[in-house]
A = this chain, B = another copy of it.
Amino acid sequence: MSPDAPIAIIDSGIGGLSVVRALREKLPHERILYFGDTARTPYGWKSAETVTGFVRQIVQYLRGYDPKHILIACNTASALALATIRKQFSDVAISGVVEPGARAAIEAAGAKAFPLIAIMATEATIWSKAYERAIHRRRHHARLLLRPAPLLVPLVEEGRSEKDPMVRLALRQYLQPLIARGADVLVLGCTHYTQYKSLIAQQTAGKITLIDSAAACAEDVARRLLAANLLSGNPSGGLLRCFVTDGSPRFRTLAAKFLGHEPEPPTLVTPDQLHLIGEDLRQLRISAA
């Protein structure tokens, strides 16, 4: 495997671009392939079977680009599909966003004997108990407070800013019980939530340490690549290419909010095309090149 190979990033749609942004700040020389499943987004309340099926197709497609690492940058997909996908594609390094978030939460909890760690995430992520398992594996005595916050994704996707009264009210509703219970740490367990990070910090008024799963995850990927001696040394290698399953112009407009700039027009790979296999799939990749 060459350090010049790309990093492939998989997301349910748009939220994973906050991981891309964090990763590019950290590793500006990497070639990044970002795949957003915009035709079938969101994943946040769907079953493990459905989400795993979608992610499997995308991994199959992206493997054709010989990535040095595949990152599942969506919390729901990491929680529901990562273990199965890793078993199925054991010849390529695949990581997710839940483990790094859990690790960062425990570090932030410090030496406290029974820290109270809150997780705000999609319904499917909460139901999967992935964060619970990841945290308890490391800190047996950590107490957990799980809070599904399903409205935040549509609020972000509607383009509502932190000033919007709906956003303020929704966050107040979701955060109040966590503050009242005295949470020490809050994991933003969905990459969309980073868009409201300042407002969340303001509403929790410094009482709770915030863990941004996007930042924690970018850190984790950098560490893994360094350990495997696969960091790109090519200063002109930095590049972002996006793939989407739905061709609506919405992707680029919203992407700008996450990336800080509008990306190049994405390559469209429809759900029908993701069903192709073998030679047909190879031909599709060639024609998309």
Give A164's nearest chain B residue, CB to CB. B173
Total residues of chain A contacting the partner, CB 8 A: 33
Interface residues of A, dominant DSSP: helix
Copies of this chain, complex-wide, total 2
Closest to A149 in B: B158
Offer 13 A-B interface pairs, CB within 8 angstroms, sorted by A: A39-B50, A40-B271, A45-B157, A45-B248, A46-B248, A49-B247, A50-B248, A50-B270, A150-B154, A150-B157, A151-B151, A151-B158, A169-B169
**Interface status of A250 (Cβ within 8 A of chain B):** yes
Q: Are A46 and B158 in contact (CB under 8 A)?
A: no
- Known contacts: A165-B169, A169-B166. The answer to whether A46 contacts B246 by CB under 8 A is yes
Residues of A28-45 whose CB lies within 8 A of B: 38-40, 45
Question: A residues near B, CB below 8 A?
Answer: 38-40, 45-47, 49-50, 53-54, 123-124, 150-151, 153-155, 157-158, 165-166, 169-170, 173, 245-248, 250, 270-272, 275
A17 to chain B, nearest CB (A): 17
List residues of chain B with CB within 8 A of the CB of A39: 40, 46, 50
A151 to B: closest C-beta gap in Å = 6
A159 (CB) vs chain B CBs: closest residue: B150
The answer to whether B166 and A49 touch across the interface, beta carbons within 8 angstroms, is no
- Given A53-B270, A247-B47, A271-B50, A166 and B151 contact (CB-CB distance below 8 Å): yes
Assembly CA distance A197 to B173 (angstroms): 24
